[in-house]
Chain A
Amino acid sequence: MSATSICAALNRPTAAAALNGSASLLFSTFMADDNKSLALALKRRDPDVLDALIEQYQYRLFRYLLYITGHHERAEDFFQETWIRVLERGHQYDGKSKFEAWLFSIARHLVIDWQRQKKAQSLDALTNPDEGAPMEFAGDDPSPLHQVLTHESEATVQASMEKLPAIYREVLLLRFQEELGLVEIAAVLSAPLSTVKSRLYRGLEDLRGLLAGTGEPA
């Protein structure tokens, strides 16, 4: 529904018709070609396009926010704030990069701003565990992330993910669930490519170690 509605909202009835049914794969290609139209629609603050985008990206954005905040209600607040920010700053999206990378970058900045206000620490201290405390899950028991990760068969993976620092969870999600490129991840994180790579290697190694049953990151 969402892919079709975005096309329709962008006044692309032909594309919308072509996207009915099982053509979601085509959608990403279409969107890559049509990011310029999306940028124009965001510049116009077109409410129909925004509605369609919210529906289209709700799962991915919420999952990303949940991974980096580790808190269900907070992720929900940031979800809404992110879309308000998209509305207000839509003119800044140039259509040259993937929309989701820009979207995640906005969400991330909101979370970091909030962290900064909360802890009055530097950005690096919040994001780099070697220089300070990383973003941590709330101390609720069981953890909110645990509550929303649904299937029982995923218990081991979710437990392992919770043990990983947020910065590693974040890059693992962006790379292996969102399947963003390294350069795109670097743009989302506003970090050098080398930092992205090192976090990915470290995160992957830790996750593998945790899943292998060592109980601690490798």
Chain B
Amino acid sequence: MSQELHARAQQLIAQERVEGISAPDQQWLRLHLAECISCAARAGATEQALRSLRGLSIALPSGLAARTQFRVRLRAQQLRAEPRWRMVWAACGISWAFGAATAPYVWRGLEWAGHRIGVPNIIWELGFGLWWALPAVVVAVILLMENAAGRSESVWKRQEN
């Protein structure tokens, strides 16, 4: 039997397992393997290698899934909080930009109102300062509320664990 035939058989043995072969090729291979002991042994060895590979097993670390689930849930909580914070900062940014654009008008408006009511200058000037600080005050309030909620949540988690 020529070397080309053996080479073709060996190529088809691997190809059959990796990507499949056509029916005529399958038939040719069966006939060849029936006649050729060395190629049949090679086919057997390949099949045995794959059987052994499929039979391999590993030991899973204990608690792997539970630990991962816990971490994923924590991260999910963080991710849920992120859009809220983006909204808060966006609102602050818009507020400050709007405040900067309208500051001269607000200043004049407060000045006029202060003179009209007859309050000392320092009062309406403080009012102007407060008007500027308002977004920061709102953020501070939200931060305090978030921290309080976070503390009660972690207490709840500790109790659950």
Contact = CB atoms under 8 A, between A and B. Distances in A.
Given A207-B49, A208-B49, A158 B56 contact: yes
Interface residues on B, range: 20 to 34
Interface stretch (A8-16, A18-26, A48-56, A107-115): A48-56
Interface stretch (A29-37, A118-126, A128-136, A197-205): A197-205
Interface string B47-62: 0111011111111110
Given A47-B76, A150-B58, A177 B45 contact: no
A119 to B, nearest CB: 26
Interface in B18-66: 18-19, 42, 45-46, 48-50, 52-61, 64-65
A104 interface: no
Interface stretch (B67-75, B105-113, B122-130, B136-144): B67-75
Nearest to A147: B59
B72 A47 contact: yes
Interface in A130-154: 148-151, 154
Interface string A176-187: 110000100000
Contacts of A197: 18-19
Nearest to B18: A200
A84 B71 contact: yes
A163 B105 CA distance: 78
Secondary structure of the A contact surface, majority rule:
helix
B19 A182 contact: yes
Interface residues of A, number: 42
A148 B49 contact: no
B103 interface: no
Nearest to A205: B14
A62 B48 contact: no
Contact of A45 (B14, B58, B79): B79
B67 to A, nearest CB: 7
A74 B64 CA distance: 13
Contacts of A149: 56-58
Secondary structure of the B contact surface, majority rule:
helix
A142 to B, nearest CB: 14
Contacts of A59: 58, 60
A201 B14 contact: yes
Contacts of A158: 56
Interface string A79-110: 11001100110000000000000000000000
A210 to B, nearest CB: 8
B17 interface: yes
B19 A148 contact: no
A48 B132 CA distance: 45
A65 to B, nearest CB: 10
A158 B52 CA distance: 9
Contact of B55 (A50, A72, A154, A201): A154
A45 B75 CA distance: 11
A87 B18 contact: no
A79 B55 contact: no
Contact of B56 (A51, A72, A87, A157): A157
Contact of A76 (B19, B46, B61): B61
9 contacts: A51-B72, A51-B73, A150-B59, A151-B57, A154-B52, A156-B52, A177-B53, A197-B19, A212-B45
